[in-house]
Amino acid sequence: MPDHAPDPLRRNERSRQAILDASIALIGELGYDKVSIEAIARRAGVGKQTIYRWWSSKGAVVLEAATHSLDPVVSFPDTGDFAADLRTQLRGILKLIANTGFGSAYRGLIAAGQSDPELLSALFDQIIEPNVQAFGRRAALAQERGELRDDADVQALRDVVYGFVEYRLIHAMPIKPRHIDALLKIAFDGVR
């Protein structure tokens, strides 16, 4: 009965999803440092070798888990108001941090990356660079339409925005919607 034959691709996708979910959940409970590949495999209901077949290290699987959990919230809406659309995206990231292990996973990756340049560079390529591109496209539209000044330094603006959020995350300071509002007021209206 070919209709009921196991589909190795589908099975792999189900295992992959279980491994990524288990990584974020466990790190949320225990912190990055206390979670092992063995514990992730156990929670995901797969063998340790299944993880090592697809990822070279704990950093690699957690990076994919973090990237995957960011996916649904990281894109920019386009309502014709760049500041409002940024606020929407940032509030999505705040909710992800508040409700899942994403923030702990990201902090663990940043920490591990300080003595592992390959991991830091993979984090840049998989999380930061796609955001640089998406932010740049949304900002270019905003500049065409006058939502953003023509001469605004778009890449510096991006670093201001995510630098603020990452700084508060890394230093274990609370990040609430009012902090995002204060950030965007400064970045869009200036303090002078």
**Residues in touch with a copy of itself (CB under 8 A):** 31-33, 83, 107-108, 110-115, 117, 120-121, 123-124, 128, 147-149, 152-153, 156-157, 159-160, 162-168, 170-173, 179, 182-183, 185-192
Which of 10/192 has CB closer to a copy of itself? 192
Which of 74/166 has CB closer to a copy of itself? 166
Cβ proximity of 32 and 111 under 8 Å: yes
Whole-angstrom distance, CA of residue 44 vs CA of residue 26: 10
Amino acid identity for residue 154 in this structure: V
Which of 50/88 has CB closer to a copy of itself? 88
Structure tokens at 113: 């990356």
Q: Least Å distance between CB 46 and a copy of itself? A: 26
Whole-angstrom distance, CA of residue 184 vs CA of residue 169: 17
Q: Measuring CA to CA, which residue among 172, 174, 179 is closest to residue 31?
A: 172
Q: Least Å distance between CB 148 and a copy of itself? A: 6
Q: Least Å distance between CB 124 and a copy of itself? A: 6
Q: Least Å distance between CB 184 and a copy of itself? A: 10
Which of 13/129 has CB closer to a copy of itself? 129
Whole-angstrom distance, CA of residue 40 vs CA of residue 19: 7
Length of the chain: 192
DSSP, res 38: H
Q: Least Å distance between CB 90 and a copy of itself? A: 13
Residue listed under structure tokens 């999803």: 17
Amino acid identity for residue 156 in this structure: A
Which of 8/190 has CB closer to a copy of itself? 190
